[in-house]
Every structure is written in structure tokens, then in C-alpha cells.
């Protein structure tokens, strides 16, 4: 029996703002960062989880992780996972911590790190990857992982169990597909950052096309003229009639009327969807944009900033989105994601997770595999960015345009200690990059 003895946090930041990796219309200069949680135990195993941020504010999330993780110190792992739904409810039920959410914002980001660290620990003790643990659950066990409070008007436990049972006959075959690395096709955002020059963008698009990708996403939102030029280059590389798909992402930069008019002017490039066209909390705004763009065959996607299952419930109930983009750690970890997978299945909306950040492809490869194998039974696609994977013991890998299904025990986000030491903020003199002269342009530069 494994007991959690102590929780620790690490503030790890990678200086991606220097080369504009991750740049978009709203976030011009982010430093991909991990607010990191480690659950130490009285055994050989430890659990690792993280929440993704883009730099400043990471220290606040780390403080919140410390407060939430204290609730599992001294707890037996077996007791925590024997009724996951109750454990999840327990973790969100400290009334004084809940007050600064509830179930949203910094406290919820921290919850995602803690919950995912428990899943990582559990998977290691079982010697299985997280996706396989869920794949081997009965429908009743799957549903017991979820706190259904606030969503029973969209889906009940009984409905969920029935839906999962209907997908059971094909599950064994889909597990074989996963084992053969054919469960999760990838799409790339790596060529489309707004801060990249046009030559760099064109070269990266050609490179990823040659690597077997068929789906490509570009950032938009600075100006119509500039976006038309960039999308023209993209279509020149990937074509219109070669079976390739183009998606665009505005990262919340527009009001609702602006989004509609702007995207009408980009409709000639035939994007599959516009991602985050407006505020992530504006359910009816997304619905209005979706209805206005239907005649142009442009879908609407959102999710990376959706704070919990309640917002997703409303987006799905109102018919506001064509694509559901769950995030592995903005919500409350695996358990809350499972709830959204079920709701998306009920409303017939495909799951295409947000995965553009450090550690996110490592996480979301498990979630997309779970969706395919257990919930939807249908292939979708998953975002991939080719950055910072070398810092993880079990990095995500793309081959022939597909994610290589993780087989190692855990949740794949355990970071190498030397990477954490080198990029810890503010870090130690002589050890951390953030104490070096190279860091001064970021530390002393204009904050944007």
C-alpha cells in the first residue's frame, strides 16, 4: 500500500519568447512554463503532474498547488483511487480555497496538476500508461471517476454508462489500433506562430507536409491583409485539393461582430475552423459566430481556455461549437476531462484537444486515445507542437503523421531533474538559466 508523504512544487520556465515560439495575436511573447507538482511516497514511486502557463503567474499557481496538494499528504493511494469521483469532490471542497474559484482560475489550474499527479502515481504502481487504465475500466468504473454535479441536465450517470456500453463491442479492436500507433492522427501548429517570418513558415509547412501531416493550423488576427498573405503561402504549400486541411486560430482577439466579418474575408482559403474567435466564456457569442459562418463552411472551435465542465456543457447544449478542444490541465485533470468527453459524445461534437504548450502533447496523447478507444470510437486529430519534448523522460513522438501511443507507465509528463534545475525560476546561481546574462532581455525587457 502506497502512502503520499509529501508534495513539492517546482516553477519551471522555458525562454520561448526569445524566438517567438507560441506567439499569437493575443500572446506576443510567452515563455512556455510548467507549474509542477511532485507527490512523494513511502515507496519507490512518485507522482508527477503539471499545469501549463506562459511565464509570469507561474509562481501563483505553484503556491496554489502547494495548498491543494496538502489535502492528499498522508493519504493512501488506494483510498484516493477507489472512488475517484469522491476524491475529486474532496479536492474541490476546501471552502476557503474554493472561494477563490470556484472550480476555475488559478485554483483550478492547480487542481489539474495535483489530480494528474495522482493519476501518474497510480499508473506507475500498476505498471501501465494512464490511457490503458481507463481503457480497461468497465463503464461503471469509468463513470465513477466523474463528479456529475452541475452537468446532470446534460448527461446523467445512467446515460453515460449506456453510451459506453454501446461502444464496448469494438473496444478490443480499437486497442489494437492504439498498440499499432494508429489511434491518434496529429496536426501541427509549429509552422504557424505569428512571430515567425514568412520564409520560416513556408519552410516549416513543407517540412511537416513531407513528414506525413495532413492538418495544419496558423495563427491569425493581426490584420486581414497580412493574414491573407500568410494563408496564401500556406495554401500554396498544402494545396486545396490534396486532402489537406487548414485551420486558423485567433486566440480570443476579436469581438463577436469583428470575428464574423474578419472570417468572411478569409473564407476564400477554406479553413476547416476558426479557433477561439472571441472570449472563451461567451457561449452565445460563439453560437452567433458559428451560425454566421455556416454558409461559408467554416466551423467554430474552442476549449483551451474553457475553465471547467460547466462551460463545455453550455457550449455543447447551445450548439455553439463544431469542435471541442479540451485542455489536459486547465480543467481539473483527467476526471473532469472524462466528463467532457462523454458530453461531447452525446452532442455529436468531435474532440480535438488543445495541445500547444510544454508537456501538453505528452498529456493529451492519452486523452485522445481514451476518446477513440473508449468513448467516441471515432478517429479525430490532435495538435502537436515540436518544442521542448527533450525535457521529458517519455516524450511524445510522431511517426507517419500519427502519435506513437505511449506504453510506458504513468502520464508521460515526468520531467528530467536536470531540466527542472536548469530552467527553474528564479533558480540558483550557477545552475538556473534565469540567473544568466542570456536571461536579462526577458527579465529587464518590456512586459507584454
The per-residue DSSP string of 68-92 comes to HHTTTTT-BHHHHHHTHHHHHHHHT
Task: State residue 332's pLDDT score.
Answer: 97
49 within some domain: no
Task: State residue 1's pLDDT score.
Answer: 87
Task: State residue 119's pLDDT score.
Answer: 99
Catalytic residue among 108, 215, 345, 354: 354
Mean pLDDT of 361-374: 98
Mean pLDDT of 93-122: 97
Digit-coded pLDDT (tens) for 26-84: 777 789 999 999 999 999 999 999 999 999 999 999 999 999 999 999 999 999 999 99
Q: pLDDT-based confidence at 448, cuts 50/70/90?
A: low
pLDDT above 70 coverage of the chain, percent: 99
Digit-coded pLDDT (tens) for 261-294: 999 999 999 999 999 999 999 999 999 999 999 9
Task: State residue 191's pLDDT score.
Answer: 77
Mean pLDDT of 187-206: 84
- DSSP single-letter state for residue 29: S
141 within some domain: no
> Which helix (H) or strand (E) element contains residue 441?
helix 440-444
Distance CA 320, CA 290 (A): 6
Distance CA 50, CA 91 (A): 16
Q: Is 205 exposed, middle or buried (0-12, 13-18, 19+ CB in 10 A)?
A: buried
349 within some domain: yes
Query: Of 91, 96, 6, 112, nearest to 49 (Cα)?
Result: 112
Digit-coded pLDDT (tens) for 156-188: 999 999 999 999 999 999 999 999 999 999 998
The radius of gyration computed from the CA coordinates of the chain, to the nearest angstrom, equals 21
54 within some domain: no
Provide the number of structural domains found in the chain. Answer: 1
Catalytic residue among 128, 219, 387, 391: 219
167 within some domain: yes
pLDDT above 90 coverage of the chain, percent: 88
- Provide the residue range defining the domain that includes 214: 163-403
Mean pLDDT of 255-264: 98
Mean pLDDT of 345-370: 97
78 within some domain: no
Mean pLDDT of 366-391: 96
Spatial neighbors of 271 by CB under 8 A, at least 6 apart, are 231, 246, 247, 248, 263, 298
Angle value at C-alpha 381, between 108 and 294, nearest 5 degrees? 90
User: Taking a C-beta distance cutoff of 8 angstroms, is the pair 17, 442 a contact?
Assistant: yes
- Which residues partner with 4 through β-bridges? 41
Q: Is the pLDDT of residue 434 over 70?
A: yes
Mean pLDDT of 87-100: 97
Mean pLDDT of 132-144: 98
Q: Beta strand 382-384 with 323-324: parallel, antiparallel or unpaired?
A: unpaired
3-state secondary structure (DSSP) of residue 167: helix
187 within some domain: yes
Q: Is the pLDDT of residue 23 over 70?
A: no
Distances from the Cα of 422 to the Cαs of 14, 35, 360, 385, 447, in angstroms? 9, 15, 20, 22, 23
Task: State residue 325's pLDDT score.
Answer: 97
Please give the distance of CA 328 from its chain centroid, rounded to a whole number: 4
Extended strands (E) in 227-309: 245-249, 273-275, 299-302
- For this structure, is 366 an active site residue? no
Distance CA 189, CA 276 (A): 15
Distance CA 6, CA 9 (A): 10
Query: Of 9, 12, 3, 5, nearest to 424 (Cα)?
Result: 12
- Which residues partner with 40 through β-bridges? 6, 46
1 within some domain: no
- DSSP single-letter state for residue 319: T
User: Residue 312 maps to which CATH number?
Assistant: 3.20.20.120
Query: Of 392, 331, 391, nearest to 367 (Cα)?
Result: 331
- For this structure, is 108 an active site residue? no
Distance CA 17, CA 1 (A): 44
Mean pLDDT of 330-354: 98
Give the chain's mean pLDDT.
Answer: 95
| Across 126-130, 217-221, 263-267, 410-414, least confident range | 217-221
Q: Is the pLDDT of residue 24 over 70?
A: no
Alpha-helical regions (H) of 266-385: 283-293, 309-317, 333-347, 360-370
Q: Is the pLDDT of residue 394 over 70?
A: yes
Task: State residue 356's pLDDT score.
Answer: 87
Task: State residue 19's pLDDT score.
Answer: 82
Amino acid at each position: 500500500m502506497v502512502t503520499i508523504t509529501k508534495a513539492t512544487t517546482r516553477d519551471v520556465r522555458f525562454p520561448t519568447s526569445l524566438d517567438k515560439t507560441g506567439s499569437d495575436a493575443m500572446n506576443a511573447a510567452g515563455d512556455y512554463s510548467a507549474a509542477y507538482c511532485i507527490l512523494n511516497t513511502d515507496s519507490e514511486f512518485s507522482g508527477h503532474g503539471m499545469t501549463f502557463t506562459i511565464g509570469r503567474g507561474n509562481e501563483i499557481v505553484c503556491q496554489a498547488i502547494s495548498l491543494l496538494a496538502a489535502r492528499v499528504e498522508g493519504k493512501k493511494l488506494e483510498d484516493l483511487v477507489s472512488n475517484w469521483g469522491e476524491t475529486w469532490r474532496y479536492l474541490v471542497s476546501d471552502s476557503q480555497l474554493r472561494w477563490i474559484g470556484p472550480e476555475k482560475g488559478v485554483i483550478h489550474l492547480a487542481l489539474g496538476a495535483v489530480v494528474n499527479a495522482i493519476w501518474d502515481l497510480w499508473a506507475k504502481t500498476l505498471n501501465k500508461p494512464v490511457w490503458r487504465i481507463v481503457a480497461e475500466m468497465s463503464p461503471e468504473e469509468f463513470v465513477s471517476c466523474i463528479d456529475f454535479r452541475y452537468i446532470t441536465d446534460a448527461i446523467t450517470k445512467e446515460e453515460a454508462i449506456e453510451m459506453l456500453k454501446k461502444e464496448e463491442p469494438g473496444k478490443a479492436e480499437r486497442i489494437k489500433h492504439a498498440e499499432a500507433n494508429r489511434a491518434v492522427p496529429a496536426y501541427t501548429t509549429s509552422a504557424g506562430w505569428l512571430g515567425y517570418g514568412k520564409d520560416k513558415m513556408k519552410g516549416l509547412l513543407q517540412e511537416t507536409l513531407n513528414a506525413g501531416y495532413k492538418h495544419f493550423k496558423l495563427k491569425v488576427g493581426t490584420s486581414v491583409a497580412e493574414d491573407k498573405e500568410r494563408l496564401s503561402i500556406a495554401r500554396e504549400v498544402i494545396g486545396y485539393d490534396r486532402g489537406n486541411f487548414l485551420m486558423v486560430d485567433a486566440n480570443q482577439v476579436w469581438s463577436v461582430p469583428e470575428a464574423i466579418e474578419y472570417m468572411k474575408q478569409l473564407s476564400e482559403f477554406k479553413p476547416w475552423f476558426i479557433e477561439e474567435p472571441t472570449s472563451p466564456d461567451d457561449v452565445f457569442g460563439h453560437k452567433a459566430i458559428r451560425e454566421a459562418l455556416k454558409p461559408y463552411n467554416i466551423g467554430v472551435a474552442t476549449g483551451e481556455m474553457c475553465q471547467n465542465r460547466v462551460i463545455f456543457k453550455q457550449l455543447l447544449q447551445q450548439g455553439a461549437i463544431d469542435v471541442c478542444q479540451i485542455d489536459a490541465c486547465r480543467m481539473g485533470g483527467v476526471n473532469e476531462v472524462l466528463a467532457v468527453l462523454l458530453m461531447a459524445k452525446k452532442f455529436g461534437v468531435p474532440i480535438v484537444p488543445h495541445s500547444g504548450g510544454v508537456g501538453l502533447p505528452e498529456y493529451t496523447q492519452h486523452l485522445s486515445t481514451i476518446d477513440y478507444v473508449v468513448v467516441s470510437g471515432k478517429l479525430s486529430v490532435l495538435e502537436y507542437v515540436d518544442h521542448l519534448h527533450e525535457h521529458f523522460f517519455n516524450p511524445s513522438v510522431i511517426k507517419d503523421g500519427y502519435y506513437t501511443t505511449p506504453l510506458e507507465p504513468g502520464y508521460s509528463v515526468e520531467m528530467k531533474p536536470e531540466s527542472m534545475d536548469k530552467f527553474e525560476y528564479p533558480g540558483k546561481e550557477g545552475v538556473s538559466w534565469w540567473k544568466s546574462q542570456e536571461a536579462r532581455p526577458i527579465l529587464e525587457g518590456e512586459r507584454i
